[in-house]
Every structure is written in structure tokens, then in C-alpha cells.
Amino acid sequence: MKYALVDGIKVEAYKGLKGVCPICGSSLISRCGNRKIHHWAHKGILNCDSWWEPETEWHRNWKNNFPIDWQEYLMNDSVTGERHVADIRTETELVIEFQHSFINSKEQSSRESFYKNMIWVVECSTWC
């Protein structure tokens, strides 16, 4: 996760910071080592979004091309209560998902059904 809420503001991971998960409201800790891209992690659980995947530098670079308010946009289904974080959601409500690793057709269909108005940006040199 690139952003957590710190005093109600979306903030990138920085060594020593503690934040709150915008999805589930639980505590997050910043992971800022030298081997992986800086990110936020839950203290006790792996993640709270079943579609979460580790983020690569390729993924992060794509997200960085968009305004912060569009990145990691929390979306809710008011009927089912299902919640997921879109990589990007524009002002016109278009969702853009960046996919760098294999995704099975069932999960792809689930995401498309949930987000409705969406497009994929796919880097598939190793798995397509």
C-alpha cells in the first residue's frame, strides 16, 4: 500500500511513521528498507483487500503519473458492503488498474464487475 492516513491525510510510507488503513481502519506501520519499495503494512494481518498484491516499481511508477487524490481510491459497494482499492479512479469515475503479474480470468471478471467503468494497463512480458 502506497498511502496510509496520518492525521486524516494520505501520506506515503516514511521510516518511523505510523498510520491508519483507509480500508479497515486498523494500524499500519511503514516499511522502508533497502530491498523492497517503501510501503505501508498491517501490523497483524497481511491485508484487508482480497485483491491486494505486492506492488512493483513498475506499478508504482504508473500510479505516480496521476494526481494523489486519484491514487489508491477506496470504492464501496453500498449493497454488498464489499470494499476494494482501485489503483486509479479519475474525476470521470474511470478506474485504471495496473497489472504486472498473472491474474486468473475469474478474478479479472470480478474486478471488472465491481469497478464497472474500467480499463487495464498490463505488462505481460513474462506471463502473457
Same domain, 31 and 64: no
| 57 and 108 housed in the same domain | yes
Residue 56 and residue 42 share a domain: no
Cell 480499463 identifies what position? Answer: 119
pLDDT given for residue 128 in this prediction: 59
- Write out residues in the chain with pLDDT < 70, as ranges: 45-47, 126-128
Looking at the structure, do residues 37 and 62 belong to the same domain, yes or no? no
List the 83-89 sheet strands across, edge first. 71-76, 83-89, 95-99, 118-122
Domain count, the chain: 2
Task: Classify the phi-psi angles of 90: left when phi > 0, otherwise alpha if psi is within -120 to 50, otherwise beta.
Answer: beta
Domain shared by 61 and 120, yes or no: yes
Give me the domain span that covers residue 26: 1-47
Cell of 80: 454488498
The answer on 27 and 61 residing in a single domain is no
Q: Are 86 and 66 in contact (CB under 8 A)?
A: no
For residue 107, which amino acid is it? E
Q: What is the pLDDT of residue 48?
A: 83
Q: Of 12, 31, 47, which one is at a domain's C-terminal end?
A: 47
pLDDT on residue 97: 97
**62 by DSSP, 3-state: which?**
helix
